[in-house]
Chain A
Amino acid sequence: MAHRVDHEYDYLFKIVLIGDSGVGKSNILSRFTRNEFSLDSKSTIGVEFATKTLQIEAKTVKAQIWDTAGQERYRAITSAYYRGAVGALLVYDITKKQTFDNVQRWLRELRDHADSNIVIMMAGNKSDLTHLRAVSENDGQEFAEKEGLSFLETSALESHNVEKAFQTVLTEIYHIINKKALAAQEAARNSGPPGQGTTIHVVDSSDAGSSKSSCCSS
């Protein structure tokens, strides 16, 4: 029953999937991580978890995705889930106006509980259901611009834009991290050597690298 320890990534990012119940969060996730879609999938209880490793600008990024239940009554418990999240995919259903209206509340929730630098992508899901559309793409776009969010319309069923949505979020996070790492390196160079005499390679081991460091080499 021994499990191989997985070191094969350069970065480890936690992404949360949020949005009202029934907008298709779990199917977006299963489409992204397993390329599966289920019309009668069970509703999420609490949180579900998935990971996917992908390449971003020649670096291996492992995305850990936390798919939270959309029910209002679960929020008391889910608030802790935002801890450590660097990205969020905020999903609404283009056929249900209400879910779009609630995006504002989800944003508030993110601001209350998540890191202020969290990268947010808003996704109008079920874009395949054009005949039932209740929220125009334009409305989504405008709202996103106003709130400073990335925006895409997706269809988990048709596998449209799902990969791209995650890729966009992860790339943006990667850029931010990278930029900060460089700045930190600069700062470190200026502020003299750290204590304990240990050399720290910030760039190589940034973030996910923490678990790759030398602690098992005894």
Chain B
Amino acid sequence: MSSTPAGAPSSEASSTPRRSFSSLRGFRWRIHLGVLPTSPTASIDDLRRVTADTRRRYATLRRRLLLDHHPPKEGDASRDLTIDNPLSQNPGMHELLAPLLYVLHVDINCLFQLQKLHKDCLNEEFDRISFSKNDLFDFGARNVRNWESGIEATNGLDGMSNDHFTNELDPETRDVLLLCDPYGAEGELGVIVSKCFMEHDAYCMFENLMDGALGVVGLASFYSPVIGSSKNMPPVVEASSALYHLLSIVDSSLHSHLVELGVEPQYFALRWLRVLFGREFCLDDLLIIWDEVFSFSNSRFIGDDAEYNFKVLCSPRGALITALAVSMLLYLRSSLLATETATTCLQRLLCFPQNPDMRKLIEKAKSLLALALESNIFSSLSERNLKKNKLAVRRFSLPSGSALPMTLPNVVPDSYWEKKWLVLHKDEEPKMQNFDSSSSVMTKILTEKLSLSRTKSEPLEPEIDRAQSPVSRLIFNETSAGIETVQDSYQVDESPTILNVNATNDSPVELEDESTYNCSADENILSDDDTSVLPISTYPLDHENELEKSNSTTSLLIDGDNEDTINLEEHSGQNIKSQFTQKAETTSAVDGSTEEKSLAAPNAWRPLAGKLQWLWTFSRVSDKENQGSHPPCTMGDVKKNNLDNEITDETDYFGINKRIERDTKVMDALKNLGQSMLDNIQVIESVFQQEKVKFDTFENLSSNILGSKGQTTAVSALKELRKISNLLQEM
């Protein structure tokens, strides 16, 4: 092509990135799946040649398998087509193939429309050029020459219309037409979107999807029961565990609920993964999901020798698949928390609501992506790092984990936490250079490899309108990548000075604030090197307070609570909202309203909020065990209960921040707390007692979901709880 008069403009056009091709989804997928070259410098001719080659390869394969049929050679396991034949009844595989065929078919229709449009245009041009030049003979001669060699014909056409015609077409359309010109490189076989070769193209995409095209995630591995990865787990089971791993980080309460019910991840993830969510969404939604999944690279994200926990999390694509699954779980969060048996829970999991909010689902998944990748790498570092990072990760992710499910119109939580971290980020920015931490390296890699930029997500928009303070306006105008947010979370841990910075920058009054003061002091006592006091001091505070009040065994509801809180807060007016958003500035902003409310509210709980800060840390430690002991049946009631409590007590929470309470009251409250814990423990114990009897009685012939193992952990958790309550009562 470059050897022709039209060479210059056309090669220029083809060397520019033209990977968007918004109208040709199948074409895009072929590039993303690695069927066609991904390099942006690949010329139109390159693309056509590769296309032709893949088709030849498929034709050969097909001939070999169908016509000269003989058993596959040994050692060719990854392409064992007699077993993994898409045409077989093997459930799933043909369901992966069908959407691929579908998009190719749509592409062909698109192209047809485009060509039709173009044809009119071309004819017009043709007429105009030939007649205006009044040189029919000349043109005719050129045309004849062109017909003699296919390739030149195109170029001749190109050259002819260069001045008038090509410039009127946008480069993308022009490229598409060149890519689909039967007279280009390789002739018909090189036509990128071709009805004749749909079968070939579909197969090539399918093949790459199944074997991963030298990348990390090949869906075929999800069908194999034996080809184990690290721990000899079948890949699909391993990928399912990765899903729970990520869930446990972003929403430990939901995670524990599922674990407690005995819902093993592969029970539902097997289907989700094998057909890549094909059974969970209608076709249109599925295509959107696959758009996202394929657009992420499947190549190995970490070094070959690096240790990792889950293979599926080693490539951005695998991580996105995992994150999507977690996003789906979060989408169903409240529904799942309300279930009390594994069966009903699984029923809901395998009956994903129709017409879900796709944008939300995908955004959430993307926001978890960096975390998913990092959690896989960092957890293979030293124990100390692991611990630190986990703390940071939790702080970052808990709130966003809670943001998704319950509030459709209300997006405050997301933006709230984003803001929070942005504030922190701003404070931290000058210091950042000082830390050559692994997380910043990670961020760099992430940014480069993923070009992961959340920028200003849509849900933020209404926030901007409503945000009153100039500070928040400023924050919102600053667009920041999701990764940065993660990095911030690490920054918190890395920097021992963060608390001071935070406090000083925000408001001097805050230093007087008992709750903040307490929490910082106590945190320091509890963990010498950890100053993760963080921006969310109000969050655990609130949640602990509530937890106590709800007077039931509910740390399961942490996230939900948080979200409810935020919702309520939203309703309770601008002032409170801004207080919550920028806790440091509460004093000035909310003074009036909180004063008023605190007068109206009972005092009893106030001291708890401050004092409980350290308890929160404590309870976190035994969090898991605690949750193991929750009787499954409380969820619904507790939820409601909690909500009620919130409605009545919310206001008094806001008064807490600034209160300095005397010790006696505090002690009383702590004793109350201890007593109520004891009550709860007894309730749980009595339940277990019953269970135990049943176990003995029916010799395990029962539908009891608590295995004996679960029971032991639960019992030990109870013991822990008892210790805490004793401790509290003695105080």
Binding site for B on A (CB under 8 A): 1-7, 12-14, 21-22, 42-51, 64-66, 69, 71, 73-77, 80-81, 83-84, 86, 115, 117-118, 176-177, 180-181, 183-184, 187-188, 194-196, 198, 200, 202, 205-208, 210-218
Contact = CB atoms under 8 A, between A and B. Distances in A.
B679 interface: yes
Nearest to B225: A76
Interface stretch (B296-304, B336-344, B375-383): B336-344
A92 B234 CA distance: 28
A208 B698 CA distance: 13
A217 B551 CA distance: 10
A175 to B, nearest CB: 12
A6 B700 CA distance: 24
A215 B631 contact: yes
A117 B693 CA distance: 18
Contact of B267 (A7, A46, A64, A212): A46
A1 B701 CA distance: 34
Given A64-B342, A177-B702, 17 more contacts: A4-B338, A4-B636, A22-B89, A45-B91, A45-B92, A46-B270, A49-B343, A49-B347, A49-B350, A50-B347, A64-B343, A64-B344, A180-B698, A195-B689, A214-B683, A214-B686, A218-B683
A188 B684 CA distance: 21
Contact of B697 (A3, A117, A181): A181
Contacts of A48: 350
A93 B320 CA distance: 41
A194 B689 contact: yes
B386 interface: no
Given A21-B89, A198-B686, A207-B694, A46 B633 contact: no
B264 A80 contact: yes
Interface stretch (B70-78, B110-118, B637-645): B637-645
Nearest to B83: A73
B703 A64 contact: yes
Contact of A5 (B89, B405, B635): B635
B418 to A, nearest CB: 24
Q: Which of A2, A188, A206 has most chain B Cβ within 10 Å? A: A2
B685 interface: yes
B341 A12 contact: yes
A205 B268 CA distance: 30
B619 interface: no
Interface residues of B, number: 72
A20 B262 CA distance: 26
Contacts of A180: 697-699, 701
Contacts of A51: 343-344, 347
B270 A77 contact: yes
Contacts of A3: 334-335, 338-339, 636
A14 B683 contact: no
B223 interface: yes
B385 interface: no
22 contacts: A1-B334, A1-B335, A3-B339, A5-B338, A5-B637, A45-B271, A45-B274, A45-B279, A47-B346, A51-B347, A77-B270, A180-B697, A183-B697, A206-B697, A210-B690, A211-B340, A213-B633, A215-B683, A215-B684, A216-B637, A217-B683, A218-B680
B703 A77 contact: no
A184 B342 CA distance: 27
Interface in B224-263: 224-226, 234, 236-237, 262
A42 B551 contact: no
B343 to A, nearest CB: 4
Nearest to B275: A45
Please list the 4 inter-chain residue pairs (A to B) with the smallest Cβ-Cβ separation, ordered nearest first. A184-B697, A5-B636, A64-B343, A46-B270
Nearest to A201: B690
Contacts of B683: 214-215, 217-218
B244 to A, nearest CB: 14
Given A49-B346, A213-B687, A207 B704 contact: yes
Given A21-B89, A115-B701, A216-B552, A202 B633 contact: no
B341 A211 contact: yes
A210 B270 CA distance: 30
A210 B91 contact: no
A10 B681 CA distance: 25
B338 A218 contact: no
B700 to A, nearest CB: 6
Contacts of B264: 80
Contacts of A117: 699, 701
Given A45-B279, A73-B223, A218-B551, A213 B693 contact: no
Contacts of B639: 2
Contacts of B335: 1, 3
B5 interface: no
Contact of A176 (B689, B693, B701): B701
Nearest to B349: A49
Contacts of A22: 89
A73 B700 contact: no
B340 A43 contact: no
B437 interface: no
A6 B340 contact: yes
B267 A215 contact: no
A19 B342 CA distance: 22
